[in-house]
């Protein structure tokens, strides 16, 4: 059932895009393609510099990312997950996994040491090959992942809204030449705050399973969608069945951020893992901290950097924002 929904939703997104040429590796690019790539790369530098300084100046501590750990994001059950293979290997007699997202590390670090933290974290997700043509999936990408102890969903959403608005405003001031060259100067407009907020259950009632495709064509500015059934770590009200979480959708491009208020109670986390067939033994530390009452309430989110830069630069394929494109189904030398 979940799988059918996945395919309907994402295929719809794929079909709504014109057929896009796959980004090629650097050594095969023509002079003009190199010029464009270089321009996108300068915008990427600006975006990274701007975002990290906004987080740091708002009191967030900057964590370096990790690559191999026993626990990582299960990426399940997410109605849109499409993982072909999990990257796992044995080291020193233990099984470790390539980081799918820093969520578990964020929850632990935020509870124990840094009440406000962020990381630029490489994520490895071996997406199914057919996602190579979605235009928005790479099999390696970077999240600006952040978490705040005792924050509410609303706190996180307003912070993100401020960050995005300041970014657009500053980009237009400082990167005007690049945006003009990319044909994005006029269309990239600072959104009004607060962004609109929709409930996924209501969108589905109104538009059916293809609600996202419909939204992406209709919106001119970023919008929030809340109440998304997702992984065990997002907060679910067992009484109402509602999820206190959110995605941020960008016009034409789709989801650029996912996040939520988090579960921290041992009993609830355990119940959700059992219900969702998530292997508890892969999350023993998190469960132990929760049982000891050391896991703290928090909320946070992760911004897909390449998707954000795709939207800003008008890239037709996310691989255009990567110097070394990691396109599902295609493995280049670098
Ligand atoms: P989608 O449904 O679009 O495949 P997701 O909901 O599975 O994405 P999340 O697990 O919520 O993705 O990841 C957090 C953020 O990381 C997403 O909002 C997106 O910006 C980014 N992201 C996720 N998967 C990819 C990918 N394969 N390539 C590039 N960015 C991604
Ligand atoms: N970064 C996401 C979050 O904070 C987790 C994910 O990658 O799905 O919720
Ligand atoms: Mg998501």
Q: Does residue 202 lie within any of the structural domains?
A: no
Ligand nearest to the CA of 103: 2
Q: What is the pLDDT of residues 99-154, one digit of tens each?
A: 999 999 999 999 999 999 999 999 999 999 999 999 999 999 999 999 999 999 99
Sign of CA dihedral 218, 223, 228, 232: positive
Q: Which atom of ligand 2 is nearest to the CA of 143?
A: 1
Q: What is the pLDDT of residue 79?
A: 64
Does any domain span residue 67?
yes
pLDDT in tens, 27-80: 999 999 999 999 999 999 999 999 999 999 999 999 999 999 999 999 998 666
Q: Which atom of ligand 2 is nearest to the CA of 230?
A: 8
| CATH code: domain of residue 97 | 3.30.930.10
**pLDDT value of residue 21:** 86
| Whether residue 2 has pLDDT greater than 70 | no
Atom of ligand 1 nearest to the CA of 127: 27
pLDDT of residue 19: 64
Ligand 3 center–CA 34 separation, angstroms: 32
Higher-pLDDT residue of 189 and 12 is 189
Q: Is residue 209 part of a domain?
A: no
Rounded to the nearest angstrom, the distance between the alpha carbon of 311 and the centre of ligand 3 is 17
Considering only residues 4 and 197, tell me which one the structure prediction assigns the higher pLDDT.
197
Measured between alpha carbons, how far is 76 from 3 in angstroms, rounded to an integer?
Answer: 11
pTM, two decimals, is: 0.95
| Count of C-beta atoms within a 10 Å radius of residue 158 | 14
Q: Is 300 inside any structural domain?
A: yes
pLDDT tens for each residue of 237-288: 999 999 999 999 999 999 999 999 999 999 999 999 999 999 999 999 999 9
Coil, helix or strand at residue 243: strand
- Average pLDDT for residues 95-102, to the nearest whole number? 98
Q: What is the rounded CA–CA span in Å between residue 99 and residue 63?
A: 14
Name, in order, each residue with C-beta under 8 angstroms of 329's C-beta and a sequence gap of 6 or more.
Answer: 129, 130, 131, 132
pLDDT of residue 82: 86
Residue 208 belongs to a domain: no
250 within domain boundaries: no
Q: Does the C-beta of 311 come closer than 6 Å to ligand 1?
A: no
* CB neighbour list of residue 274: distance below 8 Å, 6 or more residues apart: 280
List pLDDT tens digits, range 294-324: 999 999 999 999 999 999 999 999 999 999 9
**pLDDT beyond 70 at 13:** no
Q: Which domain holds residue 143?
A: 31-191+262-321
Q: Is 216 in the pocket of ligand 2 (CB under 6 A)?
A: no
- Give the chain's domain count: 1
Mean pLDDT (whole number) for 176-201 = 97
Residue 171 maps to a domain: yes
Distance from Cα 130 to the centre of ligand 3, integer Å: 18
Do the domain assignments include residue 310? yes
Question: pLDDT class for 7, splitting at 50, 70, 90?
Answer: very low
- Two tokens, residue 229: 């059934």
pLDDT digits (tens, 9 = 90+) for 139-165: 999 999 999 999 999 999 999 999 999
Output the CA 300–ligand 2 centroid distance in Å. 8
Instruction: Look at residue 6 and tell me whether its pLDDT is greater than 60.
Output: no
Give the Å distance between the CA of 102 and the centre of ligand 3: 14
What is the C-alpha to C-alpha distance for residues 100 and 70, in angstroms, rounded to an integer?
12
The finding on whether 302 has its CB within 6 A of some atom of ligand 2 is yes
Interval 6-31 mean pLDDT: 67
% pLDDT > 90, the chain: 92
């Amino acid at each position: 059932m979940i799988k059918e929904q996945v395919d309907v939703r994402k295929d719809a997104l794929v079909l709504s895009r014109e057929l896009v040429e796959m980004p090629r590796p650097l050594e095969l690019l023509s002079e003009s393609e190199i010029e464009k790539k270089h321009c996108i790369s300068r915008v990427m530098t600006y975006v990274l510099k701007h975002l990290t300084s906004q987080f740091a100046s708002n009191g967030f501590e900057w964590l370096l990312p990790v690559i191999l750990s026993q626990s990582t994001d299960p990426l399940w059950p997410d109605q849109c997950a499409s993982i072909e293979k999990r990257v796992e290997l044995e080291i020193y007699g233990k099984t470790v996994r390539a980081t799918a997202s820093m969520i578990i590390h964020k929850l632990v670090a935020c509870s124990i040491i840094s009440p406000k933290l962020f990381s630029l974290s490489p994520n490895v997700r071996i997406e199914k090959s057919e996602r190579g043509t979605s235009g928005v999936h790479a099999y390696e990408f970077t999240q600006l992942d952040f978490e705040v102890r005792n924050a509410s969903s609303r706190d996180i959403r307003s912070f993100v809204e401020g960050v995005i608005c300041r970014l657009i405003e500053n980009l237009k001031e400082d990167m005007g030449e690049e945006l003009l060259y990319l044909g994005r100067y006029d269309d990239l407009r600072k959104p009004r705050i607060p962004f609109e907020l929709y409930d996924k259950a209501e969108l589905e009632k109104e538009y059916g399973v293809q609600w996202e495709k419909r939204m992406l064509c209709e919106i001119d500015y970023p919008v929030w969608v809340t109440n998304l059934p997702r992984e065990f770590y997002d907060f679910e009200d067992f009484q109402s069945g509602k999820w206190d979480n959110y995605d941020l959708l960008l016009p034409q491009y789709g989801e650029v951020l996912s996040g939520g208020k988090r579960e921290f109670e041992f009993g609830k986390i355990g119940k959700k893992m059992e219900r969702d067939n998530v292997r508890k033994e892969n999350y023993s530390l998190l469960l132990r901290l929760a049982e000891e009452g050391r896991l703290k309430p928090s909320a946070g989110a992760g911004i897909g950097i390449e998707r954000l830069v795709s939207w800003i630069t008008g890239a037709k394929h996310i691989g255009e924002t990567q110097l070394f494109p990691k396109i599902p189904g295609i493995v280049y030398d670098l």
